Structure 1
Amino acid sequence: MGKTSSSPPRWASPTCAGSKATTFTNGVIATAKHFLGYGVSEGALNAAASVASGRDLYDVCATPFEAMIKEAGLASVMNFYSDIDGVPAGANRQILSDLLRGRMGFTGSVVSDYGTVEQLVTRQKIAATPQQAGILAPSCAARRPSFAAMNSQPSDPAPSC
C-alpha cells in the first residue's frame, strides 16, 4: 500500500538487482529467468498462463528485470514458456522485442526455457513444425536453446542470429 505507479516495487532496487544480476566470473554468465510473468500464473501453476497484463505486467513483473539490465548489466535472460494475453511468451514480439529489447534496452542473449520451441508446436499449437516455431520466435529469443534443450537434440544445432 502507499505505492504509486511511478514508484518501482521494492525488489527493483539496485542493491537487490545487483545480487541477482549477471556477473562475469571465469567466463560464466548468470541468466535471469523467467521473462515475463512466470510468478503470476493462473493458480500459481507451472506452465499456466500469466494472469498479469498491461500495466501490471510491466510494473510488477518487468521492473526487477529492468533494474538488473540498467543497473547491473544483465547479459542473459530466459523466456517464460507459457502465455501472456493468449500469446505464447516464447514467440511474443511485443514482450521479447518491443518491451525487453526496445523499452528496457536489453542487448544481451535471450535463451529459451527447456521445451519452449517444442511447446509452440505441441501444446500452444501456433506452429506446425519445430522449424516454423523457430521462425516465430522474434529476435532469436526462443531459437537459442538452453544447454539442456540442445543436448536433447544434438543433431539440431542452434541457428546463429
Structure 2
Amino acid sequence: MLLSCPGELVVGATERLRLRRSSPNDAGTITAWLSDERVHRWWGGAPVPLEEVIEKYTGRREPAVVVYLIEAGGCAVGLIQAWQDDVERGLDMFVAADEQGCGRGPAAAQALAEDLSRRGWHDLTVDPAVGNAAAIRAWARAGFVATGRRGLDDGHETLLMTFRPQTDSGP
C-alpha cells in the first residue's frame, strides 16, 4: 500500500523554506544542477540529460516517487524526493552546488521526514555515500541515525541511516 505525501510544505522560522512538488517547468533547472560535478558526483556520477530529468524528476513517477523542489526566498535551491515501494520508504536529496552548506538541506529533510512520519511512513531511510561526509552530517542534523549497515549505490559504498522523529518530552 502506498502512503500519502504532502502537496507542499512551508518550514522555518528564521529562513522560510518551501517544498513544492516539481513539474515539467522545473526540468531545465534540475538538469543544470545535475550538470555540475559537485552535485552529480554523488547523484549518479555523470550529468543527467534533460529527457531523463523529465522522466524521473518532474512528477511522472508519482505516487511511488514524489519529487519536491526546495525553495528559499522564492528561488529553487535543491531537490528532495520521497520514494516508497511495498517494503521500504526513503528520501534522496541534493542541494544546488552554490547553495550547499547553508543548512537548507537538513531543514527541508527534517520537515519532510516529520510530515511523512505523521502519515505513517515508518522506518524512513536514506543512504548517503560513505565518502560524502557533508551529506552524512546533513542527514544526521535532519534526525537520521546510522544503522550500522552499508550498501552500494551508483558505485558508491553507502551508509544506511534511519529517521528518528523528535519526541516531545512535554511537562
TM-score w.r.t. structure 2 length?
0.34
Structure having the larger proportion of residues in strand: 2
